[in-house]
Amino acid sequence: MGDQGKSALFPNYGRYPLALVKGEGSRLWDDEGNEYLDFMSGLAVTNLGHAPQSVKEKLNEQLDQLWHVSNLFHIPNQEKLAGLLTANSCADRVFFCNSGAEANEAAIKLARRYNQKVLGNGRYEIITFHQSFHGRTLATLTATGQGKVQEGFAPLPQGFVYAPFNDADAVASLINANTCAIMLETVQAEGGVITATPTFIKAIAELCEQHDLLLIVDEIQTGMGRTGKLFSYEHYGIEPDIFTVAKGIASGFPMGAMLAKEKLAEAFSAGSHGSTFGGTPIATAAGIATIETMLAEGLPARVAELGDYLQAKLKEALAGNSFVEDIRGKGLLIGIGCTQPVAAAVAAIHAQRLLVVTAGPQVIRLLPNFYVTREEIDRAVAIIASALAPYGAETVKA
């Protein structure tokens, strides 16, 4: 695999021993010519598969016209993409940036600034949840309810408190005079593919209404069709004040966005926040092509159908395997919860040329692209069942 000499890169990623060099649809190839079935999608990024034609054409067109200008000028592609996002969501305003962490950072800043500069109440504290994941900047890793993400970065910024997920009573007990917002994921993807219950989400929305708090929904992994709706909050019949997207928004081109209700627009006045590379002509061209393709081809509905199919096939194939605890998730964001750590099992799956990823130490996460076929799902399930069979036998023996 690639150059085995000393790397000039920081060792901050625990990398799998593969160097991937080409992708098409659901397939990837390494530098030795080996083909893999991809059920990672770059961690929910390449939702339309690798190198989708509709996005490629739009990018090529834009590359011949203009690559970058400052946000001190109007950028027509930004207006078009923002219009597509707001026309198909509960949001009225959009801020473009480069990543999910930046989108969540913008959401945190907007929530604080709205309370302090518009409402004038001085509130700044945000309630988040244990096992959540919101990013790697200092503010977003502090918002993240996982100690391992925060380790070594003290002192952490003030203003975040954590509640158990799916426990509305615990959230209510944390609300105080400084609370300005509640920030959550509808599915804690990095935290183990833990899905919020409808009762919990409804209760959180009611708490926000009752205490005049902002509801922030982190849609970095769940948005852009991944759960079977364009945005996952739609499953719950709520409208967040702020929500964030990234990953699948531009088919692999770096982009993030923070979306909000009209009442918050005043808080981000000129000069209050910015991003040099946020919403470049190239990035927004990829975003326009991605969302237009999703809408034109009804892909969120296809995701819902195929997600049900994949879960059903997994439950059938893994029934009786004592290593497997449960199958959970929404749409094509699925977790296989296991009774023991799964690192070795994931390596065994990779050895059979299927790429999957973990979601915490005991969960195997599946994130196929939205054009995945039933035949590809059947093949993936067969590989997983084969690779996990010895682990079930070991668990029984133990």
**Residues 142-197: tens digit of each pLDDT:** 999 999 999 999 999 999 999 999 999 999 999 999 999 999 999 999 999 999 99
Q: Give the per-residue pLDDT at 5.
A: 72
Contact 133, 360 (CB under 8 A): no
What residue ranges define each of the domains in the chain, with the CATH number in brackets? 20-51+298-397 (3.90.1150.10), 53-296 (3.40.640.10)
What are the tokens at 13?
A: 């990623």
137: CB partners within 8 A, 6+ apart: 101, 102, 105
Give the pLDDT mean for 257-277: 97
Q: Give the per-residue pLDDT at 395.
A: 55
Sign of the Cα pseudo-torsion (243, 190, 211, 271, in order): negative
Nearest CA to 340 out of 352, 320, 325, 359 is that of 325
pLDDT tens for each residue of 27-52: 999 999 999 999 999 999 999 999 99
The tally of CA atoms less than 13 A away on the side-chain side of residue 67 is 1
41: CB partners within 8 A, 6+ apart: 47, 248, 367, 368, 369
- Read off the pLDDT band of 301 (50, 70, 90): very high
Nearest CA to 335 out of 365, 311, 376, 300 is that of 365
pLDDT tens for each residue of 323-354: 999 999 999 999 999 999 999 999 999 999 99
Residue 134 phi/psi, 5-degree rounding, is -125, 0
Percent of the chain whose predicted confidence (pLDDT) is above 90: 97
